[in-house]
Structure 1
Amino acid sequence: MALQRILSLLLLLLLTLLGLGLLQPSYGQDHMYQRFLRQHVDSKVTNRNESYCNLLMQRRKMTSRYCKYFNTFIHEDIWKIINICSTTNIQCRTGEMNCHESGV
């Protein structure tokens, strides 16, 4: 009886550890996705003046620790961005192979 209880507890522990291991990667991907959206997507642009980028970076709390010298914002719907990112990588002007061609 005690052996069966120990085996049940070990099985529960194993399942818990497996569950945590399976959840962690998806959480990390979701965190990276949310960070990308916050730092690089602004589909609802209303006023693009000289201070637009600096103000948006401040609003999105991107300047609290240090100020990025250069940042880019994509002014498109997230679904259009996802479609572009799912295309084949092409060579960038820098020579790296991590750029995408929109086909537009």
Structure 2
Amino acid sequence: MALQKTLSWLLLLLLTLLGLRLVQPSYGQNMYQRFLGQHVDPTVTGGNNLYCNNTMKTQFSCKRFNTFIHENIGTIISICSTTNIQCKNGKMNCHAGVVKVTDCAIMGRTLPPKCNYQAKASTRRVVIACEGNPLVPVHFDR
């Protein structure tokens, strides 16, 4: 009877630990998917004002600034294998690389859904935060 109780506790402990292990990647996966949705558009090589106005469109707010990376995801993930550098928040999980981007900056005081943006397309150095195993981008730092 004592052996059965011990085995039951060990099984419960094992299942709990496995459950915790499964939760962590889903959090990282959500951050990765959010990063892709907010900052990655490999379908174009550079955007203009119309691109920013359409891509940044929302019913609820006018975001002041956003950067879109115009590279395939493999190129972006490869940035995560470069040397760690310090992020703006002080963490050491940021990495730098040079990619094609479009920076979209709000013009004046506009109200949703008619937000007007100024686009600046360029090839420049970006810094992204990476997490997980394997490392994937989860935050656009600068």
What TM-score do the two structures reach when normalised by structure 2? Answer: 0.54
RMSD between superposed Cα atoms in Å: 3.3
Cα distance per residue 1:51-76 (max 9 Å; x no partner): 31232233xxxx46543210000000
Aligned residues: 97
Q: After TM superposition, which residue ranges in structure 1, 4 or more long, deviate above 4 angstroms? A: 96-99
Measure how far apart 1:86 and its partner are.
1.9
Structure 2, gaps ≥5 residues long: 99-142
Structure 1, gaps ≥5 residues long: none
Larger C-alpha radius of gyration, 1 or 2? 1
1:81 equivalent in structure 2: 76
The aligned amino acid for 2:14 is L
Structure with the higher helix share, 1 or 2: 1
Check whether the contact 2:46–2:70 (CA below 8 A) recurs between aligned residues.
no
SS in 2 for 1:71: strand
Distance across 2 between alignment mates of 1:82 and 1:20: 27
Distance across 1 between alignment mates of 2:79 and 2:59: 31
Q: Which residue among 96, 101, 117 is the counterpart of 1:100? A: 96
Check whether the contact 2:79–2:95 (CA below 8 A) recurs between aligned residues.
no
Structure with the higher strand share, 1 or 2: 2
**Structure having greater relative contact order (Cα 8 Å, sep ≥ 6):** 2
SS in 2 for 1:72: strand
Distance across 1 between alignment mates of 2:61 and 2:81: 32
1:56 equivalent in structure 2: 55
